[in-house]
Chain A
Amino acid sequence: MGEDGESPKLNHSFLRDYVTEADVISTVEFNQTGDLLATGDKGGRVVIFQREAENVKPHISGEYNVYSTFQSHEPDFDYLKSLEIEEKINKIRWLPQQNAAHFLLSTNDKTIKLWKVSERDRRPEGYNLKDEEGRLKDISTVTSLQVPVLKPTDLMVEVRPRRVFANGHTYHINSISVNSDGETYLSADDLRINMWHLDITDRSFNIVDIKPANMEDLTEVITAAEFHPHHCHLFVYSSSKGTLRLCDMRASALCDKHAKIFEEPEDPGNRSFFSEIISSVSDVKFSHSGRYLLTRDYLTVKVWDLNMEKGPVETYQVHEYLRSKLCSLYENDCIFDKFECVWNSTDSVIMTGAYNSFFRMFDRETGRGVTLEAWRESSKPRAVLRTRRVYTGGRRRRGDVGVDSLDFTKKILHMAWHPAENIIAIAATNNLYIFQDRVNPENQ
């Protein structure tokens, strides 16, 4: 795979030794065509990258350049509970494009916003009552009437908030998912899932509520939720206990009863203090086909077949060498890291992140995994990515990294795969890496 260069954040904070907390990327998402790539950060900003049109450089796939930047969410305060509400963007989801404008949903812990991204490359000129700067003209100077005309100007990208969906959630929102019907979307927090209509901001339907009557009986929370890519009545949500529940909205208004529940019995040999933490599912994604589910827990990624509830059909070890280090990872909070997982466009490869700026790809056909690194020092633009290895025993090769020398502050939590091509976007703290496969740009 070739690398297409990095796109630094605007304030070039990578030049400093430390990373400004606000610049840490917290979500990455391609739109449905893959021409636009949106990132959200902890400071509440959204940066949209656009792929250069291919006809500009015919033999080189387009590069991604900054298209627009805007402040999506601001720090907020809940006066009733004396709680600060972080402006960190938890998720961005694009709506399918219906006209020239693009729409995306961005959410922080409490509020979801619908943004309209549109281009303006013309402006009207020649008003009768206003001059070029918009100031009112002195009427006495107007001697004739003119018809304003549209003149081309420099391209301007305008981003406007079109809807604000507020006050729907008591707990922290962890997921949003746009329905295939194009009209509704769901938002999930720790205990509830709401369904919204894109045009209606003052009401939402509560479709899942797992809050117990007595909070003392709380044993699990919702960790992620997603609509089925084709069936607008189906959605899945994952829990902190490692279970997945598929719900059918046709069955009842409140989908507390699942249509299917997917769980794998725990391996008693691996039991430890931290078994519950590492079985918590941090991300769930439907395959593009809609037949499979991909889940990520702390040490593995698993592929589930919707037709088989008793266990995953495939399990891949992401970093099994960390199993003996769970105690230290608990102390430094790394065990709570929520890694995302993604499918490629043909559902033949799955990818997820790890530590030390490593990310892993698994080929489902061969069952083999490869470790790659997203680190500026070792990769130059257009350089070929080398595979890396973590040394866990046996013969040590040059370039192997020992488990104890892994940098746990460099974690790859967020990533996205282009919907049609082999282009991936990897967020590494405050840097965004975009890698393209030059050998096989299209998918087989």
Chain B
Amino acid sequence: MEYKVEAHRIMSISLGKIYNSRVQRGGIKLHKNLLVSLVLRSARQVYLSDYYSGVCLNTQHVEAKEWELMDSNQEKPLTPAPEESLSPSTDCNQNPEVPVVPEDPEVQHTSQAVEDSTDLHSVSSKHQAEEESSSEDSTTDVSLTSSPVTCESQCEAKGAEVSSSDCEADANPATVTEGNSQQPPKAHSCSNRKRTAEKTASNDSPVKRTKVTSSNSSEEEAEEMDTGNVSNLITIFGSSFSGLLTKESSEPEAETEDSDSGSGQICCDQMLKNLNPWSTAIVAF
């Protein structure tokens, strides 16, 4: 759980930086904002991947084709996430209130398979497992909480430094490019988040990105997938509309309060929701 909290913290910090860059002297620095948006994107991927990789633990491998399955199941993985995010605290070191299930050797073994193997397993088993997991929320919760524990143990096995940034190390299993197995899960979760966030999506870019990702499971595609919200930020800050000042000023204040990660989560969602009307903003440059 800690790395998820850390990912969320990094997201809040990144959004704060983007906001502050607008009031900085000298105008918006494109380079810095690009880097911050990349960090924001990575943090988001990790943040959203944990419950998804929890689902993976009960399944065989995730493949690019499973994309289409996710489309039909898009609502389900989302429900555990908000529930879960409301409980953990922002402090990296505190344990989440959701009870941590003692490591199931079976679960651990599966996650090991997820980590190390690059083979693509059958679609049918995944589909089956998904149906299983979606039918029982409690099962999903269990798998979700056990996944960070597993990831943590893996990191310790790798000898990662236990420090304030151990969350980074914990995030490594999720972000490390160990084959295609990790990519589609992130892509899925990102697309789902995008759909809920942008309910009033007026363009077909989400649909377009779905198709693009399903055909190619390379990491570049997964990143492109996620550019929807994040790159909108780039567009917005590139265009430096004064109208944005009034609109956005109300959100980051809410976001920067770190004391309640639940509200932080909701604020992030709000922020991402509100990005959509600006997605059609013309770049003034």
Contacts and interface: CB of A to CB of B under 8 A. Distances in A.
Interface of A: 78, 81-86, 88, 109, 170-172, 174, 190-191, 211, 215-221, 223, 240, 268, 271-274, 276-277, 280, 324-328, 330-331, 333, 336
15 contacts: A88-B26, A170-B285, A172-B26, A174-B31, A223-B31, A240-B35, A271-B175, A272-B168, A273-B171, A274-B39, A277-B35, A324-B163, A327-B6, A327-B165, A328-B165
A276 B26 contact: no
A326 B240 CA distance: 29
Interface string B260-285: 00000000000000000000000111
A273 B163 contact: no
A176 to B, nearest CB: 17
A238 to B, nearest CB: 11
Contacts of A336: 32, 35
Contact of A81 (B27, B161, B177): B27
Given A217-B231, A276-B35, A327-B10, A86 B25 contact: yes
Nearest to B43: A273
A217 B238 CA distance: 12
Contacts of A211: 285
A349 to B, nearest CB: 29
B177 A271 contact: yes
B34 A218 contact: yes
Nearest to A75: B25
A133 B42 CA distance: 69
B149 interface: no
Most buried by B among A82, A88, A220, A327: A327
A171 B29 CA distance: 8
Contacts of B98: none
B113 interface: no
A174 B31 CA distance: 10
Contacts of A273: 7, 10, 39, 42-43, 46, 168, 171, 175
A327 B168 contact: yes
Interface string B94-132: 000000000000000000000000000000000000000
Interface in B168-194: 168-169, 171-172, 175-178
Contacts of B163: 324
Contacts of B32: 336
A332 B7 CA distance: 17
A328 B164 contact: yes
Contact of A215 (B13, B17, B235): B235
A330 B17 CA distance: 10
Contacts of A221: 30-31, 34
Given A216-B227, A268-B176, A82 B238 contact: no
B176 A216 contact: no
A173 B242 CA distance: 23
Contacts of A220: 34
A215 B234 contact: yes
Interface string B1-38: 00000110010010001000000011101111011001
Contact of B31 (A86, A216, A240): A240
Contacts of B240: 81-83
Contacts, number: 110
A326 B161 CA distance: 13
Given A81-B27, A216-B232, A324 B161 contact: yes
A331 B10 CA distance: 8
A132 B63 CA distance: 89
A399 to B, nearest CB: 25
The 6 closest A-B pairs by CB, nearest first: A86-B26, A216-B231, A83-B27, A327-B165, A190-B30, A272-B168
B10 A172 contact: no
Contacts of A78: 27
Contacts of A330: 10, 13, 39
A188 B27 CA distance: 17
Nearest to A266: B177
Contact of A171 (B30, B169, B232): B30
A276 B35 CA distance: 7
Contacts of B227: 216-217
A371 B71 CA distance: 56
Nearest to A282: B31
Given A81-B284, A216-B227, 8 more contacts: A211-B285, A215-B285, A221-B31, A272-B171, A272-B172, A276-B38, A276-B39, A327-B6
B91 to A, nearest CB: 14
B165 A84 contact: no
Contacts of B30: 171-172, 190-191, 221
B167 interface: yes
Contacts of B10: 273, 327, 330
Interface in B211-268: 227, 231-232, 234-235, 238, 240, 242
Contact of B27 (A85, A215, A333): A85
Contacts of B165: 324-328
A271 B172 contact: yes
B25 A216 contact: no
Contacts of B38: 276-277
A87 to B, nearest CB: 9
A85 B26 CA distance: 5
Contacts of A219: 34
Contacts of B164: 327-328
